[in-house]
Amino acid sequence: MATTVVNSCELTDFVSLPHPHQLGPPASRTPTDTFTYFHHPKAGQFKFNSTFFPHMHVMDMRWNTADDIEIFDSTPSDNIHINFQLKGFMYSRFQGLTHDLDMRPNRHNLIHTPEIGHVNQLKGNQSMELFLISLDKDFFASLIGQNDHWSERLVTDLHNQRSFSAVTGTQIITPQMLYLIEDIRHCKVQGPMRNLLIQSRILELLALEIEQFSTAPVTDETLRPDEVEKLHQLKAYLEANFLSELSLAQLSRVCLLNEFKVKKGFKQLFGTTVFNHIRKLRMEHAGRLLRNCAVSIDDVADVLGYEYAQHFSIAFKKYTGVTPSQYQRNKVLNSALH
């Protein structure tokens, strides 16, 4: 079955689904447990409950997917995003993060991705339940402080407008977290107290997350601050020069670190190897070119430095799961439907 390709704006503009990553004015009414239902012809059946509070947006989403679907999200957001994946599977790639997120039942993560252009891949015919929280980044920074290595890293990245994940990959949803989520989802209190109780539960939930994240093994503690800064400079260099022929010796000279430190330190800090990151950047660039249907597959292969288009097609399918021609046909079909 071919994967359906859609843009996130098709979903958030369809009926009244708010974008889960966006904040907004505090709710003018007391939040309720009422769900909004709708059906999208490509994405499937949705129901959601969405509430805005000062500094936060909370969304309880239930989603029955139709076909395999790939959602491209180009909505800018400079907030903190938390996903508690209660049911179903979702694979996500984010601009600025060097590791992908394989979201499975009973897992959660926390990310900041100010760069636009991330992709969510979902299997068809599955039932998903997501509990999503977005937080104002300054509010989040004031909550975590700078009392340890973990919080210092996140606050520094926020200050420098860098993308980050609280930990590499995901963490398990603990029974205490699940209890708070279910308490929020099934809160029976009505009136003004409901607003107060839900916000207090969200803060309790965030406290449990922070405790779990900050005590998880940290892979980059052996790196000195100056080495961390040089590796960030190297990552920025790669993102500007990923189409060039790059060698480890050249990259070592670029960041003024020895080759061993480049190999080991880059993986420690970013959770992937230098050359896997280059491959990721090239394949994402290929995807952007293929979405412009005026560009042929041969031309894209040539831009990426492949001598033969077949070799590019094999590499692209290995990375995305579909061939360049399938990817391009899905985009053409998607455009023809509008």
pLDDT score recorded for residue 32: 56
Residue 332's pLDDT band (cuts 50, 70, 90): very low
> Within a domain: residue 220?
no
Tokens describing residue 249: 């010796």
Q: What is the pLDDT of residues 31-72, one digit of tens each?
A: 556 788 888 887 889 898 888 898 999 999 999 998 888 888
Asked if residue 318 is part of any domain, the answer here is: yes
pLDDT bin (cut points 50, 70, 90) of residue 12 is low
What integer pLDDT is reported at residue 21 of this predicted model?
61
Of the pLDDT bands very low, low, confident and very high (cuts 50, 70, 90), residue 330 is low
Q: Which amino acid, residue 145?
A: G
Q: What is the arithmetic mean of pLDDT over 269-291?
A: 85
pLDDT tens across 121-172, in order?
888 899 999 999 999 999 999 999 888 888 988 999 999 899 999 998 889 9
Same domain, 42 and 102: yes
Shared domain for 61 and 189, answered yes or no, is: yes
Q: Using an 8 Å Cβ cutoff, are 36 and 47 in contact?
A: yes
Task: Give the residue, 291 or 240, on which the prediction is more confident.
Answer: 240
Q: Is residue 179 part of a domain?
A: yes
**How far apart, in whole angstroms, are the C-alpha atoms of residue 276 and residue 274?**
6
Contact 52, 46 (CB under 8 A): no
What pLDDT score was predicted for residue 334?
40
| Count of positions (residues) in the chain | 338
Domains in the chain, number: 2
CB 280 within 8 A of CB 238: no
Is residue 25 domain-resident? yes
Question: Residue 173, SS3?
Answer: coil
Tell whether 60 and 173 lie within a shared domain. yes
Among 85-94, 131-140, 209-218, 252-261, which stretch is predicted with the lowest mean pLDDT?
209-218
Residues 66 and 188 placed together within one structural domain of the fold? yes
CATH code for position 108:
2.60.120.280
Position 29 in a domain: yes
Query: Are 205 and 71 within one domain?
Result: yes
Q: In whole angstroms, how large is the CA radius of gyration of the chain?
A: 21
Residues 182, 64 share a domain: yes
C-alpha–C-alpha distance, residues 311 and 129, integer Å: 39
| pLDDT at position 337 over 70 | no
Q: What angle do CA 91, 67, 300 make, to 5 degrees?
A: 65
Confidence category of residue 2, pLDDT binned at 50, 70, 90: low
Which whole number is the average pLDDT over 168-187? 91
Q: Percent of the chain having pLDDT more than 90?
A: 30
Question: What is the pTM (predicted TM-score) of this model?
Answer: 0.64
**Does the pLDDT value for residue 99 go beyond 50?**
yes
The domain in which residue 86 lies consists of 4-215
The pairing of beta strand 36-40 with beta strand 44-53: antiparallel
Residue 46 lies in a domain: yes
| Whether residue 189 sits in one domain with residue 46 | yes
* Domain identity same for 239 and 270: yes
Is the pLDDT score of 214 beyond 80? Answer: yes
Closest of 199, 223, 220 to residue 135, by C-alpha: 199
Which ranges in the chain belong to alpha helices (H)?
Answer: 8-12, 137-144, 149-159, 175-185, 192-215, 225-241, 248-255, 259-270, 274-291, 297-303, 309-320, 324-336
In this predicted structure, the answer to whether residue 174 has a pLDDT above a threshold of 80 is: yes
Tens of pLDDT, residue by residue over 19-31, are: 566 666 544 444 5
| Residues 210 and 69 reside in one and the same domain | yes
- The answer to whether residues 190 and 238 belong to one domain is no
**Would residue 260 count as lying in a domain?**
yes
pLDDT in tens, 189-198: 888 888 899 9
CATH number of domain containing 330: 1.10.10.60
H or E segment and range at residue 77: none
Over range 168-185, report the average pLDDT. 91
φ/ψ bin of 92: left (φ > 0), alpha (ψ from -120 to 50), beta (otherwise): beta
Strand, coil or helix: 251:
helix
pLDDT of residue 43: 82
Q: 202 and 281 share a domain?
A: no
Instruction: Tell which of 215, 237, 252 closes a domain.
Output: 215
Closest by CA to 327, choosing from 297, 304, 302, is 297
User: Of 186, 215, 244, which residue constitutes the final position of a domain?
Assistant: 215
Residue 207 sits in the same domain as residue 246: no
Diameter of the chain by CA atoms? 67
Whether residue 275 lies inside any domain: the answer is yes
Among residues 54, 102, 91, 99, which one has the least CA distance to residue 69? 91
237-260: average pLDDT: 90
Q: Where a domain ends, among 164, 196, 215?
A: 215
